[in-house]
Amino acid sequence: MRYGVVRTSPDLPAPSVQRRLIETAGCDILLEQGEPPAANHRSLLTLLSGLQRGDEVVVHGLESLDATTGELARLMRRFFEAGVTLKIVGGSQVEVLAPVAAIPRALALLADHESRKPFREAGQKRPRPTDSPLTQHQLKFARDMHRRGHSMRAIGLLFRLAPNEIARLLRSSRPEGDTADEDARDAEYGAAGQR
C-alpha cells in the first residue's frame, strides 16, 4: 500500500502542488493534514510506525512529517526494520530510501538516543537562564521603555514577567550615573502599586 502525506505549512509548497507530485509518484491513500494539534501529529506518526513490509510512504520532503530529527530517526529505523520504503518527491530528483541493506549505524545510534532521552515537544523552548530572564539587549529596551513612561505592568506583559520582577531587574541592571530618574520612578511605582 502506498501512503502519501500532504501537510499545510509555510515551509512547504501549497497542498495542491504536493498532492500533484505525490499522485504522480503513485499513492493509494492520501493523508492530508492542515495545521494539526499535537494529538493529530502523534496519530500520524503512530500510523506510519505501524506500516508493514512492502508499504511505501510518499512525501514532498521530510518537513511533511513535521517531526524532530530524533523522531525522524526513530521513524526511519522503524521503516528499515519493517521493510517500508520512504520516497521523497519534492527535490530535483526523487529520493528513495528502501530497506535493502542493514540500517545505517548513524541512524540506529540517533534513534537509540531519541528513545532513551525524555520526550520534548518540537516547539518547546529551552528554559531561560535562572540568573537573568532577560538578555542585555532586552534589559536595555526595558530601561528605555521605563524612561519613556511605560508602566512596569506594560513592560512585564511584553516580556511575560511580573511587574515586580521587571522592577527588580531594572534596579539590579541599572547603568552607572542613571539613578536619579529611575529612583524617583521606582518610588512612584512602589507607592502606586502595580499599575
Q: Are residues 84 and 37 in the same domain?
A: yes
Are residues 9 and 77 both part of a single domain?
Answer: yes
- Do 111 and 19 have their domain in common? yes
Place of cell 530601561: 143
Q: Is the pLDDT of residue 124 over 90?
A: no
Q: Do residue 48 and residue 143 come from a single domain?
A: no
- Residue 32 domain flag: yes
Determine the Cα–Cα distance for residues 162 and 164; give it in Å rounded to an integer: 5
End-to-end CA distance of the chain: 62
Residue 135's SS3 state is coil
Contact indicator for 15, 63 with CB cutoff of 8 Å: no
Tell me which residue range forms the domain holding 107: 2-116
Q: How many domains does the chain have?
A: 2
Minimum mean pLDDT among 72-76, 107-111, 144-148: which range? 107-111
- Do 151 and 66 fall into the same domain? no
Residues 76, 46, single domain; the answer is yes
SS3 92: coil
Phi-psi sector, 74: left (phi>0), alpha (psi -120 to 50), beta:
alpha
Q: What is the model's pTM?
A: 0.54
- The per-residue pLDDT for range 143-167, each reduced to its tens digit, is 998 999 988 888 888 888 888 888 8
Checking phi first, is residue 68 left (phi over 0); if not, alpha (psi -120 to 50) or beta?
Answer: beta
In this structure, the answer to whether residues 27 and 103 fall within a common structural domain is yes
Say if residue 6's pLDDT is above 70.
yes
Q: Indicate if 26 and 86 belong to the same structural domain.
A: yes
Alpha helices in 26-68 (DSSP H): 38-49
